[in-house]
Amino acid sequence: MREVPLYEAKNRLSALIQDVIDTGEEIVITRHGQPAVKLSRAVRRRPTPEEWARIWAEIDARNTEWVKAHPEAAKPIPWAELRKMMRDEEHDDE
């Protein structure tokens, strides 16, 4: 998080706002060296296709890592067994 002194923020407010919109980075405006206010996006924007690709790659990597650590969980459950488990669960709720 970037800090900008109040006197500089007054002169560059439009540019600082555009930076926040473009990057999503919050900017703290200081007064006498102490944090006073924070500029941040009012509305969250949608991720770009590149950001979505990075997000999904990270999710995929985490899933792969988890499956390697828990190989027993990666085995498929046969349909008949799954159906029986679901029926048993329905009866447990009664």
**69, two tokens:** 């650590």
Contact in structure between 14 and 27 (CB atoms under 8 Å): no
Query: Is residue 44 a part of any domain in this protein?
Result: no
If asked whether residues 7 and 29 sit together in one domain, one would say: yes
pLDDT digits (tens, 9 = 90+) for 13-41: 999 999 999 998 999 999 999 999 999 99
Residue 94 lies in a domain: no
What does the pLDDT read at residue 20? 94
Q: Are residues 31 and 62 in the same domain?
A: no
Residues 65 and 84 in one domain: yes
Q: Is residue 63 part of a domain?
A: yes
Domain extent for 11: 2-39
Number of structural domains in the chain: 2
Q: Give strand ranges (E) for the chain.
A: 2-5, 27-31, 34-39
pTM of the model: 0.47
